[in-house]
Amino acid sequence: MLKRLWLIFAQAVTVTLAIVFVVATLKPQWLQQARWREAPNAVTAQTAHQIALPPSPPASVVRAGFAYAAHIAAPAVVSITANKAPSRVGRAHEQLFGFPFGPRQPRNAPQQGLGSGVIISADGVLLTNNHVVEGASDIEVRLSDGRQVEARLVGTDAETDLAVLKIELSGLPAIPLGDAANLQVGDAVLAIGNPFNVGQTVTSGIVSALGRSQLGINTFENFIQTDAAINPGNSGGALVDADGRLVGINTAIFSRNGGSLGIGFAIPVDVARQVATALLKDGVVARGYIGVQTRELTPELAEMLKLGEAKGVLIGNVVEAAPAANAGIKPGDLLTRIGSHAITTPAELLTSVAALKPRSTVEVGVQRGGKAMAFQLAVAQRPPLRRDQDD
């Protein structure tokens, strides 16, 4: 009996091995599928062990950057094409501080410049640079959504290099306005514009410096300096903070070859807001004027004029029939204050006088020799910009 059972077992094993051999030879994939079904957990664990991938981080970590700021601000930044008469002057002053306003063209040929602008209200008010639209016969605006429209020039202010345009379209995006006074060196910023006419471009950087002045770019200078790339075509575009709020209007770059070297300048939004308000209301920016020209105060001059250690700004010339001349101020006087504000530099004098309202009166303090004096001035309105403009 045992011998018979053993014979049956041996025959069954032989037949089974024969079947496995045939399947392994003709259909090996059947055995692989069977093994996968038999031990899925073991294979999965082995694969995971070999790859050793970490778990996926949350979406907020994956998208660390400025996508939100760009999403908020970019729709309100436009491209501007300005057609101008042939240029009659060179651009020598741009050899170091250049206005990034499209490629250079032959001097005697009609000019078509490319710049950028920013929509600041849903009814179609735009901010851009004066040098983008100055002298233009027609101005065309292209929105980020592809719409194009002709713009009307509301007004310009050459002394801050700002201009206000108006377009008539529905459903316009408007950029939220920030507060440049709260900026700090090191804050992250984005520059948005249309460099080299390649299309809307966003570059990032930080605030490199604040209150940059005496660069010889504009009459009134209080620039935000940034290393965010600003190139030809970016003029009039937006400088925005990490929340997508407008903090400046990109204006000029320091460059030896026309490209970005990481030193760009933007007009603070606080200045732009004041200029835009005045242009929309009156068509001009009314600034105070007293009619004096300053001169460097050297130790030799201070000794000759018997000014001692007094601090102030030396008056080099007084414009005939201007408020200062009418009040009795003379060349050689040391201007020490405007109202209650002490004056120690020509830049302070320029800013303080410009802030005065035309047709108002102000007391001006001067030192003449060793004597302190005060004069009442009837403030006039600052005349249009000239290269030799006085205060």
Collect all residues with Cβ–Cβ distance below 8 Å to 384 and sequence separation of at least 6: 158
pLDDT score of 260: 61
Is 339 a domain residue? yes
Q: Higher pLDDT residue, 211 or 27?
A: 211
- pLDDT tens sequence across 313-362: 889 899 998 999 999 999 988 899 999 899 988 888 888 899 899 999 99
Out of 114-123, 207-216, 250-259, 274-283, least confident range: 250-259
Out of 72-86, 138-152, 305-319, least confident range: 305-319
Residue numbers of the domain that contains 370: 288-381
Is 199 a domain residue? yes
pLDDT score of 53: 60
Mean pLDDT throughout 166-179? 94
Position 103 pLDDT exceeds 60: no
Position 95 pLDDT exceeds 50: no
Is 39 a domain residue? no
The confidence band for 389, taking pLDDT boundaries of 50, 70 and 90, is: low
Task: For tokens 């007391």, name the residue.
Answer: 363
pLDDT score of 39: 44
Q: Catalytic pick from 79, 116, 157, 161? A: 161
Residues 369 and 223 in one domain: no
Residues 228 and 377 in one domain: no
pLDDT score of 5: 67
Residues 200 and 229 in one domain: yes
pTM, two decimal places: 0.71
- Per the structure, how many domains does the chain have? 2
Position 312 pLDDT exceeds 80: yes
CATH code, 185: 2.40.10.120
User: What residues form DSSP beta bridges with 226?
Assistant: 207, 264
pLDDT score of 299: 79
Position 33 pLDDT exceeds 90: no
> Is 131 assigned a catalytic role?
yes
> Is 79 assigned a catalytic role?
no
Q: Catalytic pick from 116, 131, 208, 260? A: 131
Mean pLDDT throughout 126-146? 92
Between CA 133 and CA 114 the distance in angstroms is 9
Mean pLDDT throughout 254-279? 83
Neighbours of 293 (CB within 10 A): 16
User: What residues form DSSP beta bridges with 295?
Assistant: 314
Task: For tokens 């007084």, name the residue.
Answer: 318
Is 313 a domain residue? yes
**What is the enclosing helix (H) or strand (E) of 271?**
helix 269-282
Residues 278 and 294 in one domain: no
- Cα torsion for 346, 348, 349, 353, to the nearest 10°? 150
Q: Where are the alpha helices (DSSP H) in 124-182?
A: 130-133
Mean pLDDT throughout 132-149? 92
Mean pLDDT of the chain: 81
Q: Catalytic pick from 116, 208, 235, 352? A: 235
Mean pLDDT throughout 220-238? 89
Between CA 30 and CA 342 the distance in angstroms is 95
Residues 72 and 121 in one domain: yes
CATH code, 296: 2.30.42.10
- Per the structure block, which two tokens stand in for 198? 């390649």
Residues 280 and 296 in one domain: no
Residues 203 and 296 in one domain: no
The confidence band for 51, taking pLDDT boundaries of 50, 70 and 90, is: low
Out of 45-49, 62-66, 184-188, 218-222, least confident range: 45-49
pLDDT score of 32: 53
Mean pLDDT throughout 15-42? 58
Neighbours of 347 (CB within 10 A): 16
Task: For tokens 């930080």, name the residue.
Answer: 206
pLDDT score of 42: 42
pLDDT score of 203: 93
